[in-house]
Amino acid sequence: MEVIKTAIEGVVIIEPRLFKDSRGYFFESFSQREFEEKVAKITFVQDNESMSSYGVMRGLHFQRPPFTQSKLVRCVKGAVLDVAVDIRKGSPTYGQHVAVELTEDNHRQFFIPQGFAHGFAVLSETAVFQYKCDNFYHPEADGGISILDSSLGIDWRIPTEHAILSEKDTKHSLLKDFDSPFEFGPF
């Protein structure tokens, strides 16, 4: 696997080594050993999958301490624009984001460490999205910032009038009104 650094330390894009022949392709989607050598020491404990249609926007979600989550995400069908926003108080990149297109064709994965809000927008007719988490989901620790906060400067590549959000996601605060439970520090 190739690890591509982004503008925010710790947030990385992962491209697998693809083996193609007349039968199709094969790739190793996750190796604990290689991930720990090249990205971070981590133990994933939960895998999740969602299916969404064009225009669905999910996020920007996180879990509050002590139930924080790092995520390794990928799109196995269709295409999404995936985004991580730094919400660590004191971080030199606080409020900044990294966006990457994940598709069934590019096989890219995106690693979002703890201390980041995460969301995605579906760019294709439908998308199947999978992610690994290093902590179990705790509904009482659920948090979010508004996915439509224009101050974040995210080009979601979907016209706002076509955005489909859950009721919960329409109620998250803007970044300027948000009191982050995360502190900047080593991963």
Nearest to 97 by CA among 78, 112, 79, 114: 112
**Cis amide bond preceding 159, omega within 30:** no
Alpha helices in the chain (DSSP H): 32-38
Segment 20-69, tens digit of pLDDT: 899 988 988 999 999 999 999 999 999 999 999 999 999 999 999 999 99
Q: Rounded to whole angstroms, how far apart are CA atoms 181 and 187? A: 16
- pLDDT reported for residue 187: 59
DSSP structural state of residue 37: H
Spell 62-83 as b/e; 16+ CB within 10 A means b. bbeeebbbbbbbbbeebbbbbb
Using CB atoms within 10 Å of the CB of residue 169, give its burial: 0 to 12 exposed, 13 to 18 middle, 19+ buried.
buried
Residues marked as catalytic: 61, 131
pLDDT-derived band at 12 (thresholds 50, 70, 90) equals very high
Answer yes or no: is pLDDT of 76 > 80.
yes
Beta bridge partners of 173: 145
Q: How far is CA 103 from CA 13, 15, 100, 118, 154, in A?
A: 13, 11, 10, 17, 19
Decide if pLDDT at 186 tops 80: no
pLDDT at 104 over 80: yes
Does residue 88 contact residue 184 with C-beta atoms inside 8 Å?
A: yes
Pick the CATH number of 2-182 from 2.60.40.420, 2.60.120.10, 3.40.50.2300, 3.90.960.10: 2.60.120.10
Provide the residue ranges of all domains of the chain, joining segments of one domain with +: 2-182
pTM, entire model? 0.94
- Residue found by looking up tokens 């994933």 in the block: 44
Q: What is the pLDDT of residues 121-167, one digit of tens each?
A: 999 999 999 999 999 999 999 999 999 999 999 999 999 888 999 99
